[in-house]
Chain A
Amino acid sequence: MGSRVVLREIDLEIGPRELIGVLGPNGAGKTTLLRAILGLVPVQNGSLMVFGSAPTTGNAAIGYMPQSRVTADGGRLCGRDIIAAAARGERWGLPWLDLATRRQIDWALERVGASELARRPLAAMSGGERQRLMLAQTLIGQPRLLLLDEPLVNLDPRHQGEMVTLVRELQQDLGITVLFSTHELNPLLGAMDRVLYLGGGQAALGSVDSVINNAVLSRLYGTEIEVIRHRGRYFVMLGNQELDHSNHDDFFEGHHAPV
């Protein structure tokens, strides 16, 4: 990250068996936070503890779903082979898989309903199907913590809803902790235990109502933020523009997604 400080003065603790929605506009530091937990980004001041110790790369207790996609030519392989390559893929030698690992891959695919899907090449899958496959991948190796980086991006509202429901089910059934980053709050409503809001280089953690309100968000950003509630949905406004979308979709991807 060079010498840029992305987040400063965050003080928080996340317990086991929680689904935390990591929210905030693009560039707020959501990915950086996840990468710091993975040990990929150094923490300059203060301390970050993951399961009671300093973060290191290769932590088998963490399942990670990065935002980036599989490389173009690799996408011509079938889904199962792609996620199988990630199973203990850091070891040297030939990519043989023992029976236990193969069973675990089958189980993970079954768990997210992607067993049939995984026979097709990744390139032939829809966005929602790919995300489901990649979610299965994070389950291999029995992780206690899942870090999901923007799994809802580029999904339509129906698939967003399916993804959120699936993640919540897995989190509760398996009794694990999930950090679910997204720049859209509304699809996660009702499915998350607490929200971690990143903005203006700072962070706030708590229940949705205790974080997503005028006072807290205005303090984070250092400017007046208005939170509008309409039909059970939240809209975070900076002046007369909606913050989340004006900072992400319109600017960088040029499409206007309805909430």
Chain B
Amino acid sequence: MLQYDFMQHAFAAAGIVALLAGIVGYFLVLRGQSFAGHALSHVGFAGAAGAVLLGVPPLWGLIGFTLLGGFAMGLLGDRLAGRDVAIGMVLTISLGLGLLFLHFYTAYATQATAVLFGDILGIDWATIRLLFGLALVSLIALAAIARPLLFASLQPELAEAKGVPMQWVGFLFLGIVALTVSSAAQIVGVLMIFTLMVGPAAAAFNMSSKLASGILLSALLALAEAWGGIALAYQTDWPVSFWISALSGLIYLLSIVYRGWRDHYPPDLRASALPNIGV
């Protein structure tokens, strides 16, 4: 299947995005901000639809709107009481706005489907270069703030006492999330961001309590899900996004089973428990 240009493009783009989404997603889950990531993708939908209306590439609209949305959330910060409600409101208003833009732009609905569910088989080299650039910027920025981000996420009160600029760290991280969401939307669409950003990370948390191996696992699971999804789509002719989400869900389920098994048989008990299975 790799003899086709569009398949090569698909694998390259999905590989870049999956690694980025897996790593950034790990911190997103760690901070308990999964819902914020989900909301940002919907803000991105309004941006993409608006860009289509103006004749600008949808990706630029996505990036612009998600960055704005991320900064707005960062400014409101933790002080905002009832965060879920506020984020939920932004989310629905954005969807409504996106719908309005699409209403004015009636030429073809395929654009809308591509934004909502992804269009990985239609990706060209220019987009791949852009995705690579986005991933590079995001990962460099993440590397720069990773240490205080981790500290601030785990023990906010102590981090504040040690002089971590909490608002800046939160703000920069949401900017990184915005870029990641924009990239991931090219692969699985704005509606299915969770499959690449939250699914692999959540599974990694179930499988490892070590930070380093958790991040690595999250990135590798996202990569496996993205590439596996493309391969299965090629075999079955079903949508890529469906397969990626299915794999993401399956791996998450397996990780829960694994965690249950591990908790039931901790390492020190396992040696004595295993022979009993054979009896």
A: residues with CB less than 8 A from B are: 35, 38-40, 56-58, 64, 66, 68, 70-74, 76-78, 81-82, 85-86, 88-95, 120-121
Contact = CB atoms under 8 A, between A and B. Distances in A.
B144 A92 contact: yes
Interface size class of B (residues with CB under 8 A): 20 to 34
B1 interface: no
Chief secondary structure at chain B's binding surface: helix
Contacts of B157: 66, 68
B153 A71 contact: yes
B87 interface: no
A132 to B, nearest CB: 16
A40 B150 contact: no
B162 interface: yes
Given A40-B160, A89-B159, A76 B148 contact: no
A77 B147 contact: no
Contacts of A39: 161
A64 B164 CA distance: 14
B171 to A, nearest CB: 14
Contacts of B162: 57-58, 64, 86, 89-90
A74 B160 contact: no
Given A66-B155, A66-B157, A73-B30, A95 B146 contact: yes
Contacts of A68: 155-157
Most buried by A among B152, B155, B163, B214: B155
A78 B214 CA distance: 11
Interface string B181-213: 000000000000000000000000100011100
Given A38-B161, A72-B32, A90 B148 contact: yes
B29 A57 contact: no
Interface of B: 29-32, 143-148, 150-164, 205, 209-211, 214
Nearest to B205: A76
B158 A73 contact: no
A133 to B, nearest CB: 12
Given A57-B161, A64-B158, A92-B145, A81 B210 contact: yes
Given A40-B161, A57-B163, A78-B210, A73 B147 contact: no
